[in-house]
Amino acid sequence: MKLLRIIYESDVVEGAVNQDSSKYYQRTAARAIVLDNKNRVALMYAHSNDYYKLPGGGVEAGEDTIQALKRELIEEIGCQVEILDKVGITVEYRDQHKMTQTSYCYLARQIGDKMPSSFTVSEIAEGFQAVWVKNIDKAIELVARCKTSSYGGQFMVKRELILLNAAKKILENQKK
């Protein structure tokens, strides 16, 4: 899968000086731009910190990225998916958390019925809600308008815009 962008602390925090990340905790995550049968796009909205993010999350021991993604999508947006394409990889160096996060992103389509989400305690505390927006352009617009002060949310907004714009190019190329 193609590396789309490395996101450093200085890309997110004004005036930040990037730190030595060689001893950071490594986290691998899987995310998706999920389309339903009306080409609406699934986003997660975090009420408490006022930002949108793509559905997905961490890869657990014994999982590959596809297995983790499918598990996370059932939990967060309540649906199974068919993977359509690879979107790309982002790497985030979150100095304040001493973490390097590598996110693998896919383009997917919902299959079967939507079920209720089953959020974790921390997702409930953040006020997570699954929302389906009109199309990928609306998803990009909503994420771009986020002005969250949340440290993690700022990384997510930067990351999601990169991934959504890459997915938009894939979808445009499929129409040709």
Mean pLDDT per segment of 10 residues, for the chain of length 176 residues?
97 92 96 96 93 96 97 95 97 97 98 88 88 97 94 96 98 86
Any domain includes 136: yes
Rounded to two decimals, what is the model's pTM? 0.95
Say how many Å lie between the first and final Cα of the chain, rounded. 23
How is residue 60 annotated by DSSP? P
Helix (H) or strand (E) holding 144: helix 136-145
Cα separation, 141 vs 4, whole angstroms? 20
What is the structure's pLDDT at 159?
98
Range of the domain at 115: 3-14+24-175
Q: What is the dihedral of CA 105, 87, 165, 94, to 10 degrees?
A: 40
* Overall number of domains in the chain: 1
* Strand runs labelled E in the chain: 3-7, 25-35, 41-46, 51-53, 56-58, 80-94, 99-111, 128-133
Q: What is the CATH number of the domain that holds 40?
A: 3.90.79.10
Any domain includes 41: yes
Any domain includes 19: no
Any domain includes 122: yes
What is the structure's pLDDT at 57?
94
What is the structure's pLDDT at 118?
86
What is the structure's pLDDT at 120?
83
What is the structure's pLDDT at 21?
94
Cα separation, 116 vs 120, whole angstroms? 13
